[in-house]
Structure formats: structure tokens, C-alpha cells
Amino acid sequence: MKSGPLAYALLAAGLLVLASTPLWADNYVVRTAAIVAMYGALATSWNFIGGFTGYPSFSTAAFFGLGCYVGAICQRAGVPMMLAWLVATLMVGAFACLLGAIILRLRGHYFAIGSIAVVEVCRLVVSSWSSLTGGGDGLNLPLLTWAPEQVMRFFLFVMLGILVLSLIATALVDRARLGFGLRCIHQNEDAAAMVGINTTLYKVAAYTLSAVFCAAAGAAYASWTGYIDPTESFQILMTVKVPVMAMLGGAGTLAGPFLGAAAFVLLEEVFWANFLDWNRAILGVVIVLLVFFLPGGLLSLARKAKAKAGSGGPA
């Protein structure tokens, strides 16, 4: 799955548009840009396990929520904000590594169910462990004392930073031995083992990569909103939305998950604003249509158009 120059151009243009929003748009647009960047990072993370490796993971919200909580607890204990994000990233990465060694023994639907259970178990543990997490009351975080526009701009660039890091990691993995091995596992796991790939190790690496950027985004999100609670942090909806975004753009490609996230968030905003009662239903229909008629994602459209232009019309 090679990413063509068109994908890189779209990617660069997308990042540029997001980064320039504070120069030409109001606070609502900047906020939306930050949300796009955040979901872009989550979808790009999911791509490691879901796109490259072909394991349908629904653990995103677990990593995001744990990131929120580890970051919040550290910050409340007096750890500086950025350091708290780093601690959250590393701890959740270690957690994913251990967890992956257990649940990656499952394949296909069983893995999907196992990974979604992780979200619920994490939510239950966090909401029951009141002495540490505040239980259902949630946790307050120290708020930044800057002007609202400044805070907005700051978190836009933080989310963009996490997104760019996840994209760089994707590009590196894509070119390396790891990416090749993961794609082999995707196509035929038994054959992958027979050519000498340590499949368990590779899958755990992919699962861990899929966790670290979610944890960083979660910790930053907690600092941004200033308040977290278990239901908000561990949303089943998020865990479903993120894979849909990645597939919408093109799973297994470099630019696809980010472009899918951008398209999805924008669609959501449009439906949310115009059809308050029906927005979820409309979104559902859109997802079903996309899955049926565009299984390769939006990027596959561009590829098809190019192939057509190259061969001078449909053969």
C-alpha cells in the first residue's frame, strides 16, 4: 500500500489549513480544527493495529481514557503539565504492551470483542476506585490562566503536534521491517510465521503504537477541558468512531486515517448544526453507505481516478 504524491499533498494541505485557522477564523473554527487534529491522531494510531496489521481493535477509548486519568492524577499531584502528558503516554504504552501480550492471542471477531471489553473494564475500575480517581464525581485539573483564544491556540498546536508525531511514526514504520511484517500478518498470519516473523512481538509492537498517541491525546484533552469523568473519558462511541474514520479515509495508508477523521468531524459538525434531532441517524446512514460503496476509503477514489486517467477511460 504505497502512498502516492497525491496523498502527501492532501496531507500537507490538511495540516496547513488546520495550523493556519487562528489567522483567519473565529474560535469555533479553531476549536473544530483542534478536534480534527485530535481525532486525526487517534485514527492514525488505530491504523497501526487496525490498518497495517488487520486486527479490528476497539481499545482506542481505553487508551484515551487512561491517558486522561494518568495525566490528571499526575497534574493534581503537582507534576508539570507537559511532564504529566509524557508520564501518561509511557504508562499507557506499558499497559498496552502487557495487555497486548494477552488479548492478541485472540483473532478476528474474538479480538474485537476482547478489545471492546477492555474499554468497559477500564471504565468500571476507574469509576469504582474513588480514592484515586474521584469515582463518578470526576476530577478537576488546574486550569491554564491565559486568555481563552490563547488556550485554544495552544491546544490546537498540541493536538497538531501529537498528530504529526503519529504521522512520522507511521511513515517510519511503513518503510521499515516492522511495517512489512505487519502487512504480512494482515494477509496471512500463519504464512507470516513460516517466513520467520515473530508474529506475537510484531502484533504487540503495533498494539502499543496504537496506544501511545491516544494516551498523549487523552492527557492533553484532560488538561484542555479541565475536568474529566469516567463516562466522558471512556466512550464506547469514540472507540467505534475512530476505526470508522480510519476506514473512511483509507485504512493502512499514511494519509487516509487523518483525512477520514477530518471528513468525519466536519460531517458531524454539519449534521449536528442542521439536524439536531436526526444527526446520529443521518451519520449512521452515511457510515453504512460509505462502508458499502467505498470499502477502500476516500483515498481509493483518488487512486481510481488516477488509474482511469492513466488508461484513458474505463477498460
Partner 1 sequence: MKTSQTAEPILRLEGVSKTFGGLKALTDVSFALTPGEVVGLIGPNGAGKTTLVNVVTGNLPPSSGKILFEGKDVAAQKPYEAARRGLARTFQIVQPFPQMTVLENVTAGALFGGGAASVGDARDMARESLDFVGLAPLADRPAAQLALAARKRLELAKSLAMGPKVLMLDEVNAGLNSSEIDGALALIRKIAERGVTVLIIEHLMKVVLSLSKRLLVLHHGRLIADGPSAEIVADERVIEAYLGHKFAARLKERHHG
Contact present, 48 and 212 (Cβ < 8 Å): no
Residue with cell 478536534: 35
Query: Nearest to residue 177, comparing CAs of 194, 192, 162?
Result: 192
Shortest separation between residue 52's beta carbon and partner 1, angstroms: 13
Rg (CA), the chain: 19
Among 36-44, 186-194, 242-250, 268-276, the segment contacting partner 1 (CB under 8 A): 186-194
Task: Say how many C-beta atoms besides its own lie within 10 A of residue 28's C-beta.
Answer: 10
165 near partner 1 (CB under 8 A): no
Q: Does 190 bind partner 1 (CB under 8 A)?
A: yes
- The correct pick among 100, 181, 260, 297 for binding partner 1 (CB under 8 A) is 181
Q: Which of 290, 304, 278, 312 is nearest to 241 (CA)?
A: 290
- State yes or no: residue 11 binds partner 1 (CB under 8 A): no
Residue 196 binds to partner 1 (criterion: CB under 8 A): yes
Residue with cell 492533553: 220
End-to-end CA gap in the chain = 23
Q: Taking CB under 8 A as the rule, does residue 195 contact partner 1?
A: yes
Query: Are 92 and 70 in contact, with CB atoms under 8 Å apart?
Result: yes
The cell 490538511 sits on which residue? 14
- Does residue 183 bind partner 1 (CB under 8 A)? yes
Question: What is the nearest approach in angstroms of partner 1 to the Cβ of residue 184?
Answer: 5
Candidate list 11, 197, 205, 251; residue touching partner 1; CB under 8 A: 197
CB of 1 to partner 1, least distance (A): 9
192 binds partner 1, rule: CB under 8 A: yes
Contact status: 176 vs partner 1 (CB under 8 A): yes
The least distance separating partner 1 from the CB of residue 100, rounded to whole angstroms, comes to: 17
- Contact by Cβ (8 Å): 281, 291: no
The C-alpha cell at 104 is: 492478541
Helices (H), the chain: 5-24, 27-46, 60-76, 81-103, 108-128, 130-133, 148-175, 177-187, 189-194, 199-225, 230-233, 236-249, 256-274, 279-293, 298-311
Is 173 strand, coil or helix?
helix
Residue 315 sits in the site that holds partner 1 (CB under 8 A): no
CB of 295 to partner 1, least distance (A): 13
Q: Which residue of 131, 145, 187, 311 would you call a contact of partner 1, by CB under 8 A?
A: 187
Q: What is the pattern of x (binds partner 1, CB under 8 A) and - over residues 116-135?
A: --------------------
**Cell numbers standing for residue 209:** 503504537
Q: How are beta strands 139-140 and 227-228 bridged, if at all?
A: antiparallel
Which of these segments, 127-135, 180-188, 204-212, 290-298, binds partner 1 (CB under 8 A)?
180-188
> Considering CB under 8 A, how many residues would be counted as binding partner 1?
19
- Looking at 78-86, 144-152, 171-179, 258-266, which segment touches partner 1 (CB under 8 A)? 171-179
307 touches partner 1 by CB under 8 A = no
Which stretch, 21-29, 78-86, 106-114, 189-197, contacts partner 1 (CB under 8 A)?
189-197
Q: Does 194 participate in binding partner 1 (rule CB under 8 A)?
A: yes
Shortest CA distance to 203 belongs to which of 75, 115, 262, 276? Answer: 115
Residues 28-57 touching partner 1, rule: CB under 8 A, are none
What is the contact surface with partner 1 in residues (CB under 8 A)? Answer: 175-177, 180-181, 183-184, 187-188, 190-199
